[in-house]
Amino acid sequence: MKALLLQVLCLLTIMNARAQLKPVEGQSAIGFTIRNFGIRVSGMLKGIEGNIHFDPARSNEAVFDINIDAGTINTDNSLRDDHLKGESYLDIKHYPKIHFQSTRVTSSNRTGTWILTGRLTIRGHEKEISFPFSAAATNGGYLFKGTFRIHRKDFEVGGTSTISDEMQVDLNVFAN
């Protein structure tokens, strides 16, 4: 009986450990698109780290706690990237990380898709966001995909700049 109980506890520990995931930097991409003078500008951010606790059977217990290195912003234009890292935009000297902390995960009406709600913090300004995401089991982990829109002025990014207020963010994060 004790041996059976020990085996069950070990199995539960292994199952729980599988639900605790870490983003894999080289296999993850955080992209964004925004308009500047009406021209579409795209870029990427790297330096993703954090913890994801996800089990599709218990999505209401899921937790996403993610940091992204704001200093990795890349729009394929080093002058623009340096400007975006500066005080009037991301201000990486004072706010080196972009942070997301989930507050809830709920099921959607589509199989393999959930709704993620949480607090996004950029430049010390926090805003609640909510967006659909998919999670596909692959290579011993999960590939999470989602898209959402934010308003840069909510985070005091860019002031009265000529860039659009609305920015689209595309997530493609592999975690294992």
Walk along the chain (176 residues) and give the pLDDT tens digit of each residue.
555 444 444 444 444 444 699 999 999 999 999 999 889 999 999 999 999 999 999 999 999 999 999 999 999 999 999 999 999 999 999 999 999 999 999 999 999 999 999 999 999 999 999 999 999 999 999 999 999 999 999 999 998 888 999 999 999 999 99
Give the model's pLDDT for residue 176.
96
Residue linked to tokens 């998919």: 134
In eight-state DSSP terms, residue 109 is S
Q: What are phi and psi of 22, to 5 degrees?
A: -125, 135
| pLDDT for 24 | 97
pLDDT of residue 5: 45
DSSP reduced 3-state for 174: strand
pLDDT value at residue 3: 52
Give residue 45's Cα distance to chain centre.
10
pLDDT of residue 94: 98
Closest-CA residue to 64 (of 20, 102, 22): 102
Whole-angstrom distance, CA of residue 127 vs CA of residue 33: 19
pLDDT at 1: 53
* pLDDT for residue 21: 97
Residues 102, 62 contacting (CB under 8 angstroms): yes
Please give the DSSP secondary-structure letter assigned to residue 163: B
pTM above 0.85, yes or no: yes
- What is the reported pLDDT for 162? 85
What is the structure's pLDDT at 2? 55
Distance CA 36, CA 152 (A): 13
Phi, psi of 152 (to 5 degrees): -60, -30
CA 153, distance to chain mean position in Å, is 19
DSSP assignment of 44-108: EE--EEEEEE--GGGGGG-EEEEEEEGGG-B-S-HHHHHHHHSTTTT-TTT--EEEEEEEEEEE-
